[in-house]
Amino acid sequence: MTPTSHHHRTEAHADDELIEGLEPDQLVANMSKPLPRMQLSRGWTVFFWALRLFVLLLTAMVVAVFVVDLRS
């Protein structure tokens, strides 16, 4: 590497070098650990619950239209 390329390195690159140095089974063991749940604010939690309800409502509407169309 040239000296100028070292100037633009970040800490993420240091982690990449560490990961590249792992044995394949070590890498698999490290990558298979589940991540903890992300803590969302109340606004995002409400948004995602509203999105779930919206998807359920749309699913019910599609099923209802499909059933009505089958009968005609």
Quote the CA–CA distance of 60 and 49 in Å, as a whole number.
Answer: 17
Mind listing the pLDDT tens digit for each residue in 3-60? 554 544 555 566 777 777 777 777 777 777 888 999 999 999 999 999 999 999 999 9
Q: Are 22 and 30 in contact (CB under 8 A)?
A: yes
Is pTM beyond 0.85 here? Answer: no
Quote the CA–CA distance of 65 and 57 in Å, as a whole number.
Answer: 12
Local structure of 72: helix, strand or coil: coil
C-beta atoms surrounding 27 within 10 Å: 13
